[in-house]
Amino acid sequence: MTTSADAMAEQVRAYLDHLKVERGLSAHTIAAYTRDLGRYREYLAGVGITEPDQINQAMVAGFPVYLTGQGLAAASVGRMTVAVRGLHRFWAEEGRSADDPAHEVSPVAPGQRLPKALTLDQVTALLRATGGCLPGASPEQLCDQALVEVLYGTGARVSEILALRVEDATRTLSDVALGLRLWGKGGKERVVPLGSYARDAVQAWLVRGRPQVAGLAATPSPALFLNSRGHPLSRQSAFNRIEALGTRAGIDQPVSPHTLRHTYATHLIDGGADIRVVQELLGHSSVATTQIYTLVTVDHLREVYRASHPRAQFPPGERPL
């Protein structure tokens, strides 16, 4: 016998299937939507709602208030509200509800957070911390060096890098003109240049590091990056490794794979790269997303100006006559 809770879950599942099959969203995005809409179902159940047609605008508008009351950050509340808006729009378009009660409910606008990019000296310190350039470097050290070089050298998302296979790397290494082929959000494909430092690090990993661990797994993996047991390197392991390297390098801020993506984009724009080029390299669907890095650069320029120009600001305790 189907319960009301089961019926509501089935209605949500239909939307998730739509996102997966028709919109082509990644498994990571689907998992995030599943968690967010799970929270929405809990909220609805708490107020006795069992059918889409029972939901009105006031109830939808109450969801962000409910989340805020539970201590969630504005960014999380905004993300979940966007998921709910998409769900109701789908239900209305598919005739699963008479109207769209979420149409006029706007997500919470979080304060703008500028990415904190590493300096070039910090990137160098991070690479030294891998130990990949040392004589007799271990497979893990060679893997760490290649991982950092590729993340910083391409600006790719960590999921895109961990999805690479050995054949993807060897094809790129054999012909510098090919570039590295990546698959981003929604299965969108793009090709990014791979610099000489990253190429050398990947070559060292493939020749001196990977063969030592590749045979440890019961079933050999085609993944480019492997852990010490010969299994594909996981997202969590990659995050843990980069974070540990940041600490070892003495960097006074949290360092993650996404930090290296921010750093890549910021350094490109600092160096004069056109924002449209950076957009393509990062795989952003809209240039508006990429423009955040121009704000970072302007902020950096302002700091340099204030520190360097003799008339940028009054000396302490002094005012002009």
Catalytic residues: 157, 185, 258, 261, 284, 293
Q: Among positive and negative, which fits the CA dihedral 230, 236, 259, 35?
A: positive
For residues 213 and 139, is the Cβ–Cβ distance under 8 A? yes
Tokens 């208030």 sit on residue? 65
Q: By C-alpha distance, which of 245, 246, 261 is closest to 296?
A: 261
Cα separation of 147 and 127, whole Å? 10
Tell me the sheet residues that pair with 223: 165
Helix (H) or strand (E) holding 182: strand 180-183
Q: How far apart are CA 306 and CA 71, in angstroms?
A: 38
Q: Using only C-alpha atoms, what is the Rg of the chain?
A: 24
- Tokens encoding 168: 């993807």
CA-to-CA distance for 258 and 255, rounded, in angstroms? 8
Distant-in-sequence, close-in-space partners of 274: CB < 8 Å, separation ≥ 6? none
CB-count exposure of residue 224 (10 Å: 0-12, 13-18, 19+): buried
Q: What are the b/e assignments for 107-119, b being 16+ CB within 10 Å?
A: bbeeeeeeeebbe
d(C-alpha 178, C-alpha 73), whole Å:
43
